[in-house]
Each structure stands twice: as structure tokens, then as C-alpha cells.
């Protein structure tokens, strides 16, 4: 029919995957009680992929091992550095998946620590970069910009342009910051030809979507304003609109058994796949 507009991506994919990213605050506070709240919250989301920042491992024990069975996500990878709250433990980035991980590597770009995993799901590969930004104070934007610039230059060269490409985690930066604007195409792109959807902006409710909120008692310690600093970014364009956000929501916004799960809220998004 002449009145049907052209589709730049071809016929759109109608199926989705579900991804959750969450800064789970390591082993701070009453972490065994928080762990129960984390498990309950993640189970309620029913994710296919989880990216955790400030995840932990200690000796033969790890958060990945503890979560894999109850969440039905048997495949996982993790990298970390010495945890501030427990020098015998590691704190870092974990990727858990319903589907096998066929490639993985840990990367560092300035103040950004990144765990990469290429998953092989039922409709082909998915490339996931989980990130935690160690430059976390307001005046460290330059360090964050440098890290994002390095990350995007690397990702541009390494990407599979046919597969969903996801970069997510705790960026410690607000949506109007230069470092986030690099990702969403609102300032000069470090890697021309590579830009990303912001899942909350695309498919969240018409509210600010703060992941750091003073309604959460664990977050009040820093005397920060409410902020949106955790993100799910997915690259565009991809054939069939793969990676396009369809629905995005916050999780972990209420206590479980009188305990808030983390000082951050979690972010969940359903992406075309």
C-alpha cells in the first residue's frame, strides 16, 4: 500500500529479551538481609540477562553463584578489584545469563571498569558491556568523559553490527552530562556511526526515573539530590530494530521484609530480540 511508511530497519522484531542492571552495593550494611531482598526483587523481574555492579566474590563464594540457581541464570562471568568494605573480597561487575556465554573479557577504560560477555541466545548473539564508573563525584565529569570516549572507540571496532549491543550499569552521571550525551548523540560522537538508545528515555514512564533516590534510606548518606545515574543503552541501528527498548521500569523501590535491597534502584528493560 502506498500509505505505509518505509521502515529503515526492515520488518520489526516483535519478540523481546529482558535485561536488568543494578548496583547492589557489595557487602555494605546488613548484606545478608539485603541479599534476600535482592533475590526476591530479581526473581520478580524474570530477567534473561542481569548486569550487577558492586557485585562481590570472596574465596570460593560469590554473588553470581548464589543467584544463578534461584534466578535460573546458570551462565555468569565476573571481574573485580579489592572491595573497600571487605579487603578479603572483590567488588566488581557481573553478567548473569539464561543463555551460554561464548566470549568474555574484563576491560578498563580510565575510571570505567567493564565486564564484556557475548551471549548466544535463541535468536543469535547478544553483546553486553557491564560498566561501573569509579569517578563518582560531581566534579569528575572529565574523567568520566575520557572513559566513555575510550569505551565507545573500542566498542565501535569490536561490535557485531547484526547483533544487539548493550552497554549498561552505573555511570555516576546525569542524563544531561556530556559523558551521557556522547552515548545518545547529543554531542560529538567519539566513534561516528555508533549511538545508543537510552532505555528509560525511550520506554520508561513520564517521570524522572531516579535510580538514586532519597526515599531510599541507604541513599541519604551522601546528601545528594535525587538522580538518574544507572542506564541501559542499546545501539542503533540494527536489523529488525534489534535492541530497541519496548518497556522500561524501576525495580527494588520498596523494602522487602523491612529492608531496602540496595542504595540504588534497579533498572529493567525489554529490548527487541
pLDDT tens digit sequence for 192-209: 999 999 999 999 999 999
Provide the pLDDT for residue 240.
96
Overall average pLDDT of the 178-189 stretch: 96
pLDDT value at 1 more than 60: no
Q: pLDDT (tens digit, 9 = 90+) per residue, 37-78?
A: 999 999 999 999 999 999 999 999 999 999 999 999 999 999
pLDDT tens digits, 226-265: 999 999 999 998 999 999 999 999 999 999 999 999 999 9
Q: What percent of the chain has pLDDT over 90?
A: 96
Residue 86 has pLDDT above 80, yes or no: yes
pLDDT at 56: 98
Mean pLDDT along residues 132-147: 98
Phi and psi angles of residue 94, each rounded to the nearest 5 degrees, phi first: -120, 145
Cβ neighbours of 57 (radius 10 Å): 19
| pTM of the model as a whole | 0.96
Q: Name the residue ranges covered by the structural domains of the chain.
A: 16-272
Instruction: Return the CATH fold of 16-272.
Output: Deoxyribonuclease I; Chain A (3.60.10)
Strand 165-170's sheet: what is its strand order?
101-109, 112-121, 124-133, 165-170, 230-236, 195-198
Amino acid at each position: 500500500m502506498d500509505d505505509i511508511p518505509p521502515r529503515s530497519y526492515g520488518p520489526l522484531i516483535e519478540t523481546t529479551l529482558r535485561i536488568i542492571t543494578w548496583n547492589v552495593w557489595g557487602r555494605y550494611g546488613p548484606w545478608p538481609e539485603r541479599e534476600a531482598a535482592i533475590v526476591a526483587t530479581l526473581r520478580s523481574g524474570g530477567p534473561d540477562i542481569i548486569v550487577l555492579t558492586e557485585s562481590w566474590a570472596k574465596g570460593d563464594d560469590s554473588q553470581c553463584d548464589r543467584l544463578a540457581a534461584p534466578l535460573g541464570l546458570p551462565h555468569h562471568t565476573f571481574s573485580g578489584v579489592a572491595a573497600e568494605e571487605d579487603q578479603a573480597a572483590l567488588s566488581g561487575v557481573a553478567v548473569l545469563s539464561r543463555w551460554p556465554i561464548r566470549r568474555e573479557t574484563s576491560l578498563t577504560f580510565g575510571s570505567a571498569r567493564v565486564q564484556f560477555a557475548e551471549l548466544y541466545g535463541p535468536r543469535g548473539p547478544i553483546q553486553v558491556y557491564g560498566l561501573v564508573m569509579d569517578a563518582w563525584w560531581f566534579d569528575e565529569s572529565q574523567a568520566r568523559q575520557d572513559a566513555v570516549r575510550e569505551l565507545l572507540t573500542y566498542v565501535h571496532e569490536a561490535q557485531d553490527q547484526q547483533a544487539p549491543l548493550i552497554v549498561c550499569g552505573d555511570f555516576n552521571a546525569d542524563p544531561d552530562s556530556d559523558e551521557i550525551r556522547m552515548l545518545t548523540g547529543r554531542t560529538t560522537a567519539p566513534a561516528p556511526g555508533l549511538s545508543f538508545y537510552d532505555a528509560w528515555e525511550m520506554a520508561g514512564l513520564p517521570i524522572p526515573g531516579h535510580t538514586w533516590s532519597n526515599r531510599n534510606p541507604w541513599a541519604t548518606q551522601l546528601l545528594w539530590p535525587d538522580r538518574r545515574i544507572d542506564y541501559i543503552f542499546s545501539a542503533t541501528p540494527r536489523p529488525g530494530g534489534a535492541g530497541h527498548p519496548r518497556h522500561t521500569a524501576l525495580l527494588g523501590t520498596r523494602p522487602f521484609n523491612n529492608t531496602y535491597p540496595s542504595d540504588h534502584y534497579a533498572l529493567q528493560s525489554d529490548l527487541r530480540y
